[in-house]
Amino acid sequence: MKGVSVGLIIGITIGVVIGILLAISTLFCVKYRRKHSQIGNSSSRRAATIPIRANGADSCSILSDSTMGPESPKSSDANSRSLWIEGPKRKSVVSMSGIPKYPYKDLQKATYNFTTTIGHGAFGPVYKAKMSTGEIVAVKVLATNSKQGEKEFQTEVSLLGRLHHRNLVNLVGYCAEKGQHMLVYVYMSNGSLASHLYSEKHEPLSWDLRIYIALDVARGLEYLHDGAIPPVVHRDIKSSNILLDRSMRARVADFGLSREEMVNPHASNVRGTFGYLDPEYMSTRAFTKKSDVYSFGVLLFELVAGRNPQQGLMEYVELAAMNTEGKVGWEEIVDSRLDGKFDTEELNDIAALAYKCIDRTAKKRPSMRDIVQALCGVIKLKQSKKNHGRALSVTEEEVAIDVVDQTDTQIPVTELRREESINSSVDLPEV
């Protein structure tokens, strides 16, 4: 009887031990699956679908809607959802969101062994490349000694993989081979806005073109703030990060410092370009949409004055504001290269808008949606004046012809025709 009891106790003990081991194994399996499920969900959230609203609410009707970026001829890397980047101390993953993958040898050949340099930034050199399909692209190569560049590479890929707008420089592919990390963009043949404002190699930008460029940039930022899901703040708006295509349409570039607004808006280090940085961000370290608005205001004053913050732009603006009260009288800061060829009312409207954007209190600054509407209003008024001028010119010509018929006196109708021709020949780019 005693032997039976001992055997029973031993059997029960063994059963309990086996049960505990099974429970522990089951718990580990559940935790493992849950962890991988969270990683998958996080990747899905970052590779969000294209926003439902392409260009913000109430965009002015005289401008065409935003379009999707051009398709790359390269096929997507269908078997891989992510790109592993080898860091010095870690491995990190970036969601590719279906972005085409270019072989290293193809980019090496297209850039003539990386000899076609067209620029160089903190990220690394940029090359012009002609692909075997005939497509012209720009290839940005991460410098091998750039620790920050690796983070920016990940940011640009993860953001631009899902952001598509006609006023953003579109990412068309990437390469991560042979220890190199490269980003492939649509080629912007007219270079940066900064080069057109400050380089003697280019003709001065006309006043009308400056307004259209400002609107292009505003629409790109409005898309990031109000059209992207989740919203995105750019964090480095400046004239050198605005690129111009062959039609002189402006696109916002360089998203290496960008953040999704809801993800960690606070950063310990100040990032961006001094002179364009929001004073409130400098003191609080919190970068918001209104910080982008401040930078855009500085850019507007660049377009008006033809000088950058490193040339004392903001001091120049503040001195002028003492006389204008932020509303009228901004003629004293206008770019001398315009030779007086600008509309004074438009100048005051643009400068007054820019002054609101650089208000030291973020809450008092307009939103990018408000800015787009204000710029649309300036352009609509411009078109109205032009149409009114054409109608008036036709009326004057009819009167002149009638006088000639009645008095047989030579009146310079050709002068009227010449003025009408000049008015109608202002060929503003389609936006």
Residue of 278, 336, 291, 345 whose CA lies nearest to 311: 336
Tokens of 397: 């010509």
Which residues on adjacent β-strands are paired with residue 260?
Answer: 232
At 187, is the secondary structure helix, strand, or coil? coil
Whether 216 is catalytic is: no
Which residues on adjacent β-strands are paired with residue 129?
Answer: 137
The residues near 165 (Cβ < 8 Å, ≥ 6 apart) are: 54, 55, 66, 67, 69, 219, 220, 223, 227
* Contact criterion met (CB below 8 Å) for 103 and 175: yes
Q: Look-up: residue for tokens 């410092």?
A: 257
Residue of 426, 347, 343, 417 whose CA lies nearest to 387: 426
Residue of 116, 172, 179, 190 whose CA lies nearest to 146: 179
* DSSP code string of 3-64: HHHHHHHHHHHHHHHHHHHHHHHHHHHHHHHHHHHHHHHHHHHHTPPPPS-SS-TT--TTSP
Say which of 208, 216, 226, 236 is annotated catalytic. Answer: 236
Task: Give the start-end residues of each E strand in 235-299.
Answer: 242-244, 250-252, 259-260
Give dist(CA 201, CA 299) in Å, integer. Answer: 21
- Phi, psi for 78 (deg, rounded to 5): -70, -25
Catalytic residue numbers read 236
